[in-house]
Structure 1
Amino acid sequence: MTIRSIVRYPDPRLALTAQPVAMFDDALRELAADLLETMHAAPGIGITAPHIGVSLRVVVLELDTREGPRTYVNPEIIYASDEMILHKEGSVSMPGVNDEVERHARVRIRYQDLDGNMQTEESDGLRAVCHRHEIDQLDGLFWIRRLSRLKRERLIKRYEKISRG
């Protein structure tokens, strides 16, 4: 396992659509392990392969240390509730800033595990928010695009100020 460099906002790679994973091999398992190690070091609760400059549809989440990490390959939302919730979000690619984003309260995703087996998962609350947030990132939609223009501009200014030190 290796801690990889994290791509920082406004790197244009964060706006690219990640490619589907086709090979379920040791290289994919190594990528998932590196993502987990990098996420822990960041620190964060979710990370995608594009966050480390790898354009593949891989997500690692660890919301509860008792449950441990989960890896989602080629995830997609197949159901989203009408009910919405507000949740404070941030990104390992934009450390030090966060803001409230409106997301679906419940989602169902379809994904593949590290062996290529199809799975589905229903989630609500924080896990549903994280699924949508990370799948957005795989689609090249960085989380701040979900904010109003005014909130986004303020957040970017705050981030730039923090980044300059």
Structure 2
Amino acid sequence: MAPRGRGEGDEYAGGAVMPIRYVGDPVLHRPCRPVTGFDEELAGLVRDMFASMYAAEGVGLAANQIGVDLRVFVYDCPDATEEWRKGVVVNPTLVLPEPADRTVAEYEEGCLSVPGQRAELGRSDRAVVHGFDVTGASLMVEGTGLLARCLQHETDHLDGRLYIDLLPAGHRERVLADYERDRGRPAEKG
């Protein structure tokens, strides 16, 4: 399911499609640096991120997934009401409901950086991200359903974690082995 006109005719259009980095690339496995300049360079990065996300048929993308070590992610996905939401968050801070108020939803999750693989993963069905837009203005994004999962997934990327890092060790190893088998390479250890 995709929204009408994804990536066309908006302020995020016109970026270059950049190659997606895959599990094992060092840029994916360390925390990203905060953004300090809200300028045309950042706006260009965001356009490239949207172009790359759409080309890869994703619903979210973190800057390090295209090799840029900055705390920025983009998203274009539905919330629990099936309303499509699109945006960019710079220097995000994730806030989840307190454990007593949290409902964990188990769904199959995938990642553009671990292509072809999916795994059941429990995440909060509600999430809030505080951060900034490309101009440096404060923003807050509240998400439910897939959008909540996306906000958590992309913030994890910026903290140097992939969804597979949240899986039990044996399950993570199976996902990585399947990924490497599909690519004809020996499995990554660790």
Normalization by structure 2: what TM-score? Answer: 0.82
Bigger fraction of residues in helix: 1
Kindly indicate whether residue 68 of structure 2 is the aligned counterpart of residue 54 of structure 1. yes
Unaligned runs of 5+ in 2: 1-14, 186-190
2:125 to 105, 108, 116: 105
**Which residue identity lines up with residue 61 of structure 1 in the other structure?**
Y
**Share of identical aligned residues, percent?**
34
1:118 alignment partner in structure 2: 138
1:161 to 173, 177, 181: 181
Kindly indicate whether residue 150 of structure 2 is the aligned counterpart of residue 130 of structure 1. yes
In angstroms, what is the RMSD of aligned CA positions?
Answer: 1.7
Q: How does 1:1-165 map to 2 (within 5 A)?
A: 1-64=15-78, 67=84, 69-80=86-97, 81-164=101-184
Count residues with an aligned counterpart. Answer: 165
Shift of 1:152: 0.5
Deviation beyond 4 Å, 4+ runs, structure 1: none
Normalization by structure 1: what TM-score? Answer: 0.94
**Which residue identity lines up with residue 7 of structure 1 in the other structure?**
R
Shift of 1:69: 3.0
2:188 alignment partner in structure 1: none
Q: Which is higher, the Rg of structure 1 or of structure 2?
A: 2
Unaligned runs of 5+ in 1: none
